[in-house]
């Protein structure tokens, strides 16, 4: 039967389109394990981030190049890439100067230099320090990072309602009397979107709702409430950022830069905005980029540590140019974690 008109209007939240050359990756009879990997991704993201990832539809698209894939969120392409199905990807973790024979490429999730190599070179590549992965793993990692990076768009108000209903079964006091009495469902949705937009897991929804109920009597602003939630989740945030030695490598902002941001913040109906002359914004972003590169080159996730009063303002300033940078305030770091400072963002007139 032809599809109903209503079905044509339905948009899949998450979709992967593949060229015909990648179809064997989806076909279990041909040894394809992409579907298994996607099932694992959905479980892992529920554990890591605290929300149920909607079903991911995979379809072939004859308009794509044979080995091309694209990822769509709500019907719009957010990213894509090209795979070599019969090769392996050897990824340079960022600090290798040695090279290996193969086709030059870029690992799509973290934008690392890589090469497609013939499978027989796997051991040689690993001995040189490369991370060697199969094409399906490349796509799976890319998809995972895209879901994490776009989680705020993926989690709907209906999803939040469902999460609250689940929480209510275990901790009714955290939901009854809070929603909608103290805060509305749209406000809770907005708080969760703000947390997820900076990759803060919402798995501990109990702590989030407890914080909201503590501070909602004095403010209804979702941005302010989300900042309070981040402080309550400091152990989780620290855990997410620390390395195997329990350290967070980070850079800071000079007192002059923090004062500049404090003076530039304006509260508008659209939330916090930073009003700075374009050349000052540009210089700040350049200096921040330089500090970010120092951490990335050293093999560390880039983190900037700020005063609580300017964290959100600074994040707003750099989020478009440096989406990979995590901005945290001193209040969001647990006391058990040691901080290693690698530098400071300064403007020329800083002493």
- Sequence length of the chain is 351
Mean pLDDT computed over every residue of the chain: 95
- Distance, CA of 236 to CA of 214 (rounded, Å): 19
Q: Please state the pTM of the whole predicted model.
A: 0.93
Give yes or no: residues 233 and 248 share one domain.
Answer: no
Give yes or no: residues 234 and 247 share one domain.
Answer: no
Number of domains in the chain: 3
Give yes or no: residues 50 and 126 share one domain.
Answer: yes
pLDDT in tens, 182-211: 999 999 999 999 999 999 999 999 999 999
Give yes or no: residues 148 and 200 share one domain.
Answer: no
pLDDT in tens, 85-144: 999 999 998 777 888 999 999 999 999 999 999 999 999 999 999 999 999 999 999 999
Two structure tokens written together for 187: 């406000």
Is 162 part of any domain? no
Give yes or no: residues 21 and 146 share one domain.
Answer: yes
- Give yes or no for a cis peptide into 69 (omega within 30° of 0): no
- Distance, CA of 194 to CA of 187 (rounded, Å): 11
Q: Which helix (H) or strand (E) holds 154?
A: helix 151-154
Give yes or no: residues 79 and 124 share one domain.
Answer: yes
Give yes or no: residues 75 and 138 share one domain.
Answer: yes
Give yes or no: residues 235 and 247 share one domain.
Answer: no
Single out the residue in 195, 223, 239 at which a domain terminates. Answer: 239
For position 108, which CATH number holds? 3.40.30.60
- Distance, CA of 28 to CA of 235 (rounded, Å): 41
Give yes or no: residues 235 and 280 share one domain.
Answer: no
Give yes or no: residues 119 and 221 share one domain.
Answer: no
pLDDT in tens, 43-86: 999 999 999 999 999 999 999 999 999 999 999 999 999 999 99
Q: Which domain holds residue 273?
A: 243-345
Sign of torsion over alpha carbons 241, 243, 248, 251: negative
- Distance, CA of 282 to CA of 262 (rounded, Å): 17
Residues 191, 212 contacting (CB under 8 angstroms): yes
pLDDT in tens, 246-296: 999 999 999 999 999 999 999 888 888 999 999 999 999 999 999 999 998
């Amino acid at each position: 039967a032809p599809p109903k008109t209503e079905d044509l209007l339905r948009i899949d939240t998450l979709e992967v389109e593949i060229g015909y050359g990648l179809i064997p990756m989806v076909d279990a009879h041909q040894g394809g394990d992409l579907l298994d990997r996607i099932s694992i991704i959905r479980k892992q993201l529920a554990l890591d981030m605290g929300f149920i990832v909607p079903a991911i539809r995979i379809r072939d698209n004859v308009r794509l190049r044979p080995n091309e894939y694209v990822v769509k969120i709500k019907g719009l392409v957010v990213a894509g890439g090209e795979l070599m199905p019969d090769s392996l990807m050897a990824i340079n973790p960022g600090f290798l100067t040695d090279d290996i024979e193969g086709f030059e490429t870029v690992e799509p999730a973290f934008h690392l230099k890589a090469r497609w190599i013939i499978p027989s070179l796997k051991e040689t590549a690993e001995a040189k320090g490369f991370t060697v992965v199969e094409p399906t793993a490349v796509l799976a990692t890319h998809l995972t990072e895209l879901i994490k990076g776009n989680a705020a768009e993926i989690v709907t108000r209906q999803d939040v309602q469902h999460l609250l209903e689940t929480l209510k079964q275990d901790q009714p006091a955290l939901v009854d009397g809070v929603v909608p009495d103290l805060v509305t469902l749209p406000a809770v949705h907005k708080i969760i979107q703000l947390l997820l937009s900076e990759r803060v897991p919402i798995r501990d929804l109990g702590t989030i709702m407890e914080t909201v109920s503590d501070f909602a009597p004095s403010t209804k602003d979702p941005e302010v409430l989300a900042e309070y939630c981040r402080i309550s989740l400091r152990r989780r945030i620290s855990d997410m950022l620390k390395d195997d030695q329990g350290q967070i490598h980070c850079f800071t902002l000079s007192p002059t830069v923090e004062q500049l941001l404090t003076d530039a913040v304006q509260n508008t109906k659209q939330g916090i905005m930073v009003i700075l002359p374009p050349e000052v914004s540009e210089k700040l972003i350049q200096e921040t980029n330089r500090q970010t590169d120092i951490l990335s080159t050293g093999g560390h996730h880039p983190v900037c540590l700020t005063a609580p009063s300017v964290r959100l303002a600074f994040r707003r300033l750099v989020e478009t140019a440096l989406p990979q940078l995590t901005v945290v305030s001193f209040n969001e770091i647990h006391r058990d974690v040691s901080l290693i400072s690698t530098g400071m963002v300064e403007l020329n007139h800083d002493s």
